[in-house]
Amino acid sequence: MRTLLDTTKNLFAYSCRSLTHPASRAFSTTVNGVNGASPQHAKTTYIPDEKVKKSPPHHANVIIVGGGVIGTSVAYHLAKKGVKDVVLLERDKLTSGTTWHAAGLINTFGSLSATSTSMRKYTKELYSKILPEETNMDTGFMPIGFIELACDKHRLEYYRRVAAFNRFCGVDVSELNSHEVKDKFPLVDTNDVLAGFFVNDDGRANPSDVTMALARGAKIYGAQIYENVVVNGITSTDYLGPCSSTVGKIIKDTIPRVTGVTLENGDEIEANVVVNCCGMWARQFAEKCGGINVPNQAAEHYYLITDKMPEVDPLWPVVEDSSKCVYIRPEGGGLMLGLFERMGAPWMVEEVPSDFSFGEIEADWDRMAPYLEDAMNRVPATLQVGAKNFFCGPESFTPDGSPIIGEAPELKQYFVAAGLNSIGILTGGGVGDLLAQWIIQKQPPSSYDVTGINIDRFHKHQRNPKYRADRVGEILGETYKVHYPDHNLSSCRNVKRSPLHQQMLEQNAYFRDVSGWESPSWFGDELNPNIAEENFGRQSFFRHWQQEHLQTRNNVALFDMSFMSKFSVKGDDAGAFLNYISTANVDGDSGKITYTQFLNKEGFLEADVTITKIDHGDFLVVSTDTMHNHVLTHMRKHLTNQHHVFVNDVTNSFAQINIQGPNSRKLLQSITSTNLDDEMFPFRASREIDIGYGIARCTRITYVGELGYELFIPSEFAAHIYEVIVEKGKEFDLQHAGLRALGSLRLEKAYRDYGHDIDNTDTIVEAGLSFTCDFSKDKGFIGMEHVLRQKQEAKERGGLTKRMAQILLEDPEPLLHHGEVLWRDGERIAEVRSASYGHTLKGAVGLCMLESKDIINLDFLRSGERSVEIGNRKYPSKVSFSPLYDPKGKRIQT
């Protein structure tokens, strides 16, 4: 009997003999038995409509660049929604980049993102029903089912959490035992299988057929598609600079606007909107368009297709085993074994060749041998057959593993849909639907939370070649890893450091990557602390976190918050401008900080920030690190040549130290000559104070629910002022605290965090933040009429049917992370959007957006049985509109 290693060597040898490896080859010679195409679809090809002109027009409304599944989906959805003059330009043939060799898995199970799950569900419906009916074309969709294996206790817990969330999102997931898995896929070795998570009507589709159906549908609705048209760049209006953040009367708009594209042959096509759907070329094309930041990177991806195996039933389900980095499904009479790696390999970091079409990458046999051996162990019968193909092709990934979607912050009306991280086919329909709505509405649709996929979340350094090369391998490897709540990426670290980084290091900080910043998560007992073992329970740092939390509640703690985004807004019109884009009145007395929201024109949330009026025409806007570019872009988008306003990013100019806790005033008062008592320095006051030999802007505000102060310190004074605080702090038993404590403290107070528990799908009324609205301002604020309408409608109905609430588990043992499901009287009514452990409240605490057909009021909360589902268990919980800790806010005022 052959050994596994011998089999692998023979398999490689067979593959080398049986495959050619041209740099590129015709579509008809590559799809046969490869790319996930089932035999009946192997010869599918795109036949252009003879009535369509050979050359593209000189003007279009929307130009889409790139003819893979994403480009054709965007074209289809725009045209279907009534957009006229939609033109798609493909440099070679449709599907010639990544789409043609995709595996075509269609699984709605597996994500803890409501947005991703929604896109998956819609995509499956599009491929299985809508497209075939509209186009009379088969997408190759086969509802053969999908099984995710859990082969260790951590994966079992994780997938149970995912299954509970997916059921809340409308996915019919059932948990199978090992015998049931074996019944559905007899060749799978189930000796170590603890459970399988099964969706009966998931399955597979043919990527090429899907793309052709989308193209046909787009043409039916009036779009035009042109192949062999190379787009070199774009044309745009004049502007101060592609990334300028200083604006004034010298220009009409603070951000340039796209006006068309330029072709390789020298022609230009005018357009109102340009959409970059260039796949692995998206970054390169974006760089030709004024330096648009699209930091995706191609990486190697492998799959093996065996020779025919008579025992294989083509209707067996797709099986995925993340513990062995493999997915398995019937293909061409045998099996396909799709391989991921724990550390992937970047491909063509400097530049993907422009003529790379229907191409393969030379396989790295030595690196892939262990993965192939593991995969074959899961299906031992594959050891007895040869290989039809061992394929390697490129797929593009992003720095955080989420897609890049939306309007570029650097260029108006220039949209991007790229970086799909190996789920382009799986979410392609949803991506097209989302982006089409975004383009039409000129803002993200409220049906999708885009905070985690918006293009404006990225920073320029993330497209550096070394960054991309080092990060992409880890991100590819994350695909099949268990997503622990405190998992920390290890690549591309120490990119951005606080002015106090060394001091935090000496205090034994455990650092997290926070938008590229190294920021303390908690502080240990020794230098370079670490997590002993990642899990979903009380991890090794729990006692440190608890101590920091209670120290803040009972005494005084120091937080290094230098990663927070800080913007200087100055000019004669600065106050009026900020007042118009803010819900609150931020242009009142000087020396005062105001908490406020930014809304879009429909009244949905865009950001939550604090704005400090330093003096007339001089303001400081502070937002979270994750919303840095989003907040900056939102301000710039609303500026014109009518405003005498200058916006500058000053994040790196100031360190930020937060001193929080009931003894914070005593500590600060002992090191400054400024009177900090209630009368002279009330809540929300802000002014410069002296500390030691330095100066800092001191603002009395809190994000933890205690008396506290934020110090904005010029970077050159940061070390000195820190030393003064720490030295004097010894008398007060001052301790350092990190982001873990910050999160649990703010959640006990039910403080919101945009991008986590509130987002663009929520109105300010639903989020419980309408108290920030000042309806008496002279010119109102963006979205005000919608806020007033919703408040009036709620009054007439007797309340809201969607409303944010805080939850607290009554059992002190279980932990919440996010994605858990809240039940009321046997019905799922909410997901836990963000969560932590309330060390003061003595239980897991979180925020969720309740939704019901009934009015959600106090009677709704007090009646009925409430519980939170964690994995496969439910725990009783309290639900409250008011903060469960210090609901009257008395501790903030003392």
Extract the residue ranges of the chain whose pLDDT is less than 70: 1-53, 238-253
Q: What are phi and psi of 273, to 5 degrees?
A: -140, 140
Task: Provide CB contacts within 8 A for 586, sequence distance 6+.
Answer: 575, 578, 579, 594, 596, 611, 613, 619
How far apart (Å, rounded) are the C-alpha atoms in residues 272 and 414? 9
pLDDT at residue 641 in the model: 82
Its sign, for the CA torsion 455, 461, 463, 466, is: negative
Contact 807, 882 (CB under 8 A): no
How far apart (Å, rounded) are the C-alpha atoms in residues 362 and 372? 16
| SS3 of residue 105 by DSSP | strand
Contact 564, 625 (CB under 8 A): yes
Q: Write out the two tokens for 164.
A: 């509970």
pLDDT at residue 42 in the model: 33
Of residues 299, 97, 134, 306, the one with CA closest to residue 217: 134
Beta strands (DSSP E) in 43-179 are 59-65, 86-89, 105-106, 146-150, 174-176
- HSE, side-chain direction, 13 A CA sphere, residue 707: 20
Its sign, for the CA torsion 452, 455, 461, 465, is: positive
Whole-angstrom CA distances from 86 to 64, 252, 264, 460 are 8, 28, 20, 31
Q: Which domains does the chain have, with CATH numbers?
A: 1-481 (3.50.50.60), 565-649+763-795 (3.30.70.1400)
pLDDT at residue 13 in the model: 38
pLDDT in tens, 280-314: 999 999 999 999 999 999 999 999 999 999 999 99
DSSP labels, 366-397? HHHHHHHHHHHHHSGGGGGS-EEEEEEEEEEE
How far apart (Å, rounded) are the C-alpha atoms in residues 287 and 283? 6
Angle among Cα 190, 194, 197 to the nearest 5 degrees reads 95
In DSSP terms, which residues pair with 329 in a beta bridge? 336
pLDDT at residue 310 in the model: 96
Of residues 128, 469, 542, the one with CA closest to residue 283: 469
pLDDT at residue 367 in the model: 95
- pTM for this predicted structure: 0.93
Q: What are phi and psi of 573, to 5 degrees?
A: -100, 10
Its sign, for the CA torsion 350, 326, 422, 489, is: negative
How far apart (Å, rounded) are the C-alpha atoms in residues 364 and 352? 19
How far apart (Å, rounded) are the C-alpha atoms in residues 429 and 421? 15
- HSE, side-chain direction, 13 A CA sphere, residue 523: 20
pLDDT at residue 7 in the model: 43
Its sign, for the CA torsion 831, 833, 836, 838, is: negative
pLDDT at residue 30 in the model: 23
Of residues 224, 268, 331, 303, the one with CA closest to residue 15: 303
pLDDT at residue 735 in the model: 98
Intra-chain end-to-end CA distance of the chain, in Å = 79
- HSE, side-chain direction, 13 A CA sphere, residue 815: 15
Of residues 296, 265, 312, 321, the one with CA closest to residue 110: 321
pLDDT at residue 54 in the model: 75
Within 10 angstroms of residue 535's Cβ, the number of other Cβ atoms is 18
Q: Write out the two tokens for 502.
A: 């060394």
Average pLDDT over the chain reads 92
pLDDT at residue 894 in the model: 77
pLDDT at residue 21 in the model: 27
Angle among Cα 852, 858, 861 to the nearest 5 degrees reads 55
Of residues 740, 749, 692, the one with CA closest to residue 836: 740
Fill in the DSSP letter of residue 460.
Answer: G
